[in-house]
Amino acid sequence: MSKITIPNQIIRALWLLEKEGFPAYIVGGSLRDALLGKSPHDWDVTTPALPDRMLEIFTAAGHATIPTGLAHGTVTVLIDHAPIECTTYRVDGEYTDARHPDSVRFTDRIADDLARRDFTVNAMACRLPHIAKWNENELALSQGLTVSVDELEIVDLYGGREDLARGVIRCVGDPATRLTEDALRILRGVRFCVQLGFSPDPATEQALFDCRAGLSHISAERIATELTRTLACPLPCADGLRLMSRTGLWQYVLPEIENNNISKYFDNEESLFNAVDTLPNRPELRLALLLCGTDAKGAKAACGRLKLSNKTTDAVSAYVGAIDRPCPKTDANVRRYLAALGVHAEGALCVAAACHAKEKANYETALARADLIRARGDCLAICDLAVDGSMLMSELGLRGREVGEMLARLLDVVLEDETKNEKEILLRIAGET
């Protein structure tokens, strides 16, 4: 019989509300994940209590609160440092911007609240039936509460549990209506397919395609967040990438995939997407591979359009820019590669390995060599040389630009042969040059 474990803090939030006569439900993604036996990364609570009333109840019980989104009914309560989002049941008004409801209205029926949620697996709620009668002692649990699912009062009006069991992502209500209201749901749908290893219901997949133009109203940051989360999934993501192709989403997410030349490395999109799954689930690696048909400049532009951080942009463009560098096959060449690419070297080797499948073994050897070289502390930069600028000036009388040029030349010598990184040897070489 399946069981779910609910952390103490959540139990306490539910209890405080129920004790005051307000039904309090765990809802949405947290219940979905709990029913799947995963521990949810955040827990959401929904209740008919109005936001001001929730603030009163939690404050009276001595808990700090944050009025996160009072207008939308959301209050965050901090219980033992854990933030818990509690939202009043609500109904969304009209959507005219393909993203936000023009207004929200509170309601006292949970069914109305569940109807506004995106997918059936996200539109369930559960309640602990007798919690209002518990006393403080019963709450003083240390490991959270593990309850059998049968003991919960589950509200599942749209077949969410069945879809969980079948592995299906299906819109609540008419898919085209729901994806037109808020086009971000299109990318959330793809992400949930990948995160859960699910498939879209056929009518929902059709609507992903039919409603795709709505994505042009979604901000770049939101698109980037969903893409990044999809690529970061530990489960294989190739099916999700194929789903994006079938439903014509790349045009809005990463048009480079359609417009650029991937054929240099891959026979078709299918093999590109399969190659993505050979990489670790680090979004910057996977994104770089998806951008292999561009160059460093194109990758930088794509990251800029998605408003990704400078750190991610630098990494992705370094990886893409290095795809055509020859695979380094000797210690000296691996050192040169590490010196040229710095912190991006290992990532660049991984991306290049995924692009040049025939050379995979060589790239793996290069990565192993890189590990050894780093562990040994071989000299990889001018600052690691056994001589510095002031020595070159005092011992050899070099001046100005000559100093920098000589240091660069000496680094080259040492990258070739690490045993030459000795003060006397380098000064002799510098003196002879």
Strand partners, 424: none
Q: Does 44 engage in binding with ligand ATP (CB under 6 A)?
A: yes
CB 116 within 8 A of CB 27: no
- CB nearer to ligand ATP: give 117 or 344: 117
Q: Determine the residue with CB nearest ligand ATP.
A: 29
Residue with tokens 């207008």: 71
Q: Is 122 near ligand ATP (CB under 6 A)? A: yes
Binder among 7, 23, 29, 101 for ligand ATP (CB under 6 A): 29
Based on the shown chain and the rule CB under 6 A, indicate whether residue 214 belongs to the binding site for ligand ATP: no
- x/- contact string, 123-162, with ligand ATP (CB under 6 A)? x---------------------------------------
**Is residue 175 at the binding interface for ligand ATP, with CB under 6 A as the rule?**
no
DSSP, collapsed to helix, strand or coil, labels residue 23 as coil
Of the two residues 141 and 157, which places its CB atom closer to ligand ATP in the complex? 157
Nearest distance in Å: CB 188, ligand ATP: 6
Of the residues 12, 117, 300, 336, which one makes contact with ligand ATP according to CB under 6 A? 117
Phi, psi of 240 (to 5 degrees): -65, -40
Distances (CA, A) of 334 to 10, 151, 321, 345, 410: 52, 60, 17, 9, 17
Q: How far apart are CA 190 and CA 290, in angstroms?
A: 17
Report in angstroms how near the CB of residue 290 gets to ligand ATP at its nearest.
Answer: 22
The one of ligand ATP, Mg ion, none whose footprint includes residue 184, by CB under 5 to 8 A per kind, is: ligand ATP
Query: Nearer Cβ to ligand ATP, position 42 or 395?
Result: 42
Which tokens sit at 93? 């008004």
Compute CA distances 188 → 117, 223, 330, whole Å: 12, 10, 45
User: Hey, is 306 helix, strand or coil?
Assistant: coil
| Residue number, 171 or 411, with CB nearest to ligand ATP | 171
Of 28, 73, 283, 293, the residue at the interface with ligand ATP (CB under 6 A) is 28
| 175: Cβ contacts below 8 Å, ≥ 6 apart | 201, 203, 204, 206, 207
User: Cα separations (Å) of 15 from 234, 269, 310?
Assistant: 35, 52, 45
CB closer to Mg ion, 42 vs 270: 42
